[in-house]
Chains A and B, each alone.
Chain A
Amino acid sequence: MNSSIKVTIWRGAQIGSYQSYDVPQRDNQTVLDLVSWLQRHVVPDLAYRFSCRVGVCGSCAMTVNGRPRWTCRTHVSKVVKDGTLKIGPLANLPVIKDLAADMSPFFDQWHRAKGSFVPSAGRHDPMARVKPGSPRRQAADEAIECINCGVCYAACDSVRWNADYLGPAALNRAWTLINDERDGGNDARLKAVSGLGGCQACHSHQTCEQLCPKALNPAKSIAGLKRRALSAFLKGAL
Chain B
Amino acid sequence: MLRCISMSKFQRIKTDILILGAGGAGLFAALHAHQANPDLDITICAKGLIGKSGCTRMVQGGYNVALGNGDSIERHFMDTIEGGKWLPDQDLAWTLVETAVTRIHELENEVGCFFDRNEDGTLHGKAFAGQTFDRTVHKGDLTGIEIINRLMEQVWARPINRLEEHRAIALIQEENGASIAGVLMIDIRSGAFVMIEAQVVLLATGAGPTMYRYHTPSGDKSMDGLAMALRLGLPLRDMEMVQFHPTGVLAGIDTRMTGTIIEEGLRGAGGYLLNGNKQRFMHNYDELAERATRDIVSRAMYREMRAGRVTPEGGLYISMAHLGPDKVARQFKGMVERCADCGFDLAGGLVEVVPTAHYLMGGVICDPTTATERPGLFVAGEDAGGVHGANRLGGNGVANSTVFGGIAGDVMPQWIAQNPGHRTPDEEHIKHEMHRALNPFSKPTGDLNALRDQLLQLMWDDVGILRDRPGLERAADKLGQLQTDLLATGLAGNGDDLGVRSFNLTWHERLNLESLIDISLVVTRAALKRENSRGAHFREDFPQAGELDSSTFTTIRQLDGKLDVTTQPVQFTRLRPGQSLLGDNLDEKTS
- Bitwise interface map of B from 252 to 263 toward A, beta carbon under 8 Å scored 1, else 0: 111111001100
Q: Compute how far the CA of A146 lies from the CA of B448 in the bound complex, rounded to whole angstroms.
A: 37
Q: Compute how far the CA of A183 lies from the CA of B113 in the bound complex, rounded to whole angstroms.
A: 11
Counting CB contacts under 8 A, is B504 at the interface? Answer: yes
Name which of A97, A116, A121 has the most chain B CB atoms within 10 A of its CB. Answer: A116
Counting CB contacts under 8 A, is B110 at the interface? Answer: yes
Within 8 A of A (CB), among B101-118: 102-103, 105-106, 108-112, 114, 116-118
Among A30-38, A189-197, A227-235, the stretch in contact with B: A30-38
A147 touches B145 (CB 8 A): yes
A119 touches B109 (CB 8 A): yes
Q: Compute how far the CA of A178 lies from the CA of B49 in the bound complex, rounded to whole angstroms.
A: 27
Within 8 A of B (CB), among A92-107: 96-98, 100, 103, 107
A33 touches B108 (CB 8 A): no
Residue of B nearest to A96 (CB): B189
Residues of B within 8 A of A145 (CB): 140, 142, 145
Counting CB contacts under 8 A, is A111 at the interface? Answer: yes
Residues of B within 8 A of A46 (CB): 505
Residues of B within 8 A of A117 (CB): 110-112, 150, 153-154
Counting CB contacts under 8 A, is A57 at the interface? Answer: yes
Counting CB contacts under 8 A, is A198 at the interface? Answer: no
A-side interface mostly: loop
Residue of B nearest to A32 (CB): B256
Q: How far is the CB of A129 from chain B (nearest CB, A)?
A: 3
Q: How far is the CB of B191 from chain A (nearest CB, A)?
A: 10
B112 touches A56 (CB 8 A): no
Counting CB contacts under 8 A, is B121 at the interface? Answer: yes
Residues of B within 8 A of A103 (CB): 49
B109 touches A28 (CB 8 A): no
Residues of A within 8 A of B220 (CB): 51
Counting CB contacts under 8 A, is A55 at the interface? Answer: yes
Counting CB contacts under 8 A, is B4 at the interface? Answer: no
Residue of B nearest to A49 (CB): B48
Q: Compute how far the CA of A72 lies from the CA of B259 in the bound complex, rounded to whole angstroms.
A: 13
Residues of A within 8 A of B252 (CB): 26-28
Counting CB contacts under 8 A, is A203 at the interface? Answer: no
Q: Compute how far the CA of A38 lies from the CA of B491 in the bound complex, rounded to whole angstroms.
A: 16
Chain A contributes a number of interface residues (CB within 8 A of B) equal to 69
Residues of A within 8 A of B139 (CB): 144
Q: Compute how far the CA of A29 lies from the CA of B255 in the bound complex, rounded to whole angstroms.
A: 6
A53 touches B219 (CB 8 A): yes
Residues of B within 8 A of A122 (CB): 106, 109-110
B251 touches A28 (CB 8 A): yes
Residues of B within 8 A of A52 (CB): 55, 57-58, 218-219
- Picked from B102, B119, B493, B503, the residue with its CB within 8 Å of the CB of A47 is B503
A110 touches B338 (CB 8 A): no
Residue of A nearest to B104 (CB): A127
Query: A127-B109, A131-B121, A132-B119 are contacts. A55–B338 as well, Cβ < 8 Å?
Result: yes
Known: A51-B48, A122-B106. 8 other contacts (CB 8 A): A28-B251, A40-B509, A45-B502, A47-B504, A54-B257, A57-B57, A74-B341, A110-B153
27 A-B residue pairings within 8 Å (CB atoms): A28-B251, A32-B256, A33-B255, A33-B257, A44-B506, A45-B503, A48-B505, A50-B256, A54-B260, A57-B48, A57-B218, A75-B343, A77-B343, A97-B502, A115-B153, A117-B112, A119-B109, A125-B109, A127-B109, A131-B121, A133-B119, A137-B117, A144-B114, A144-B146, A147-B149, A177-B112, A182-B114
Taking Cβ atoms with an 8 Å cutoff, the residues of A that contact B are 26-30, 32-33, 36-37, 39-41, 44-59, 72-75, 77, 96-98, 100, 103, 107, 110-111, 115-117, 119, 121-125, 127-133, 137, 140-141, 144-148, 177, 180, 182-183
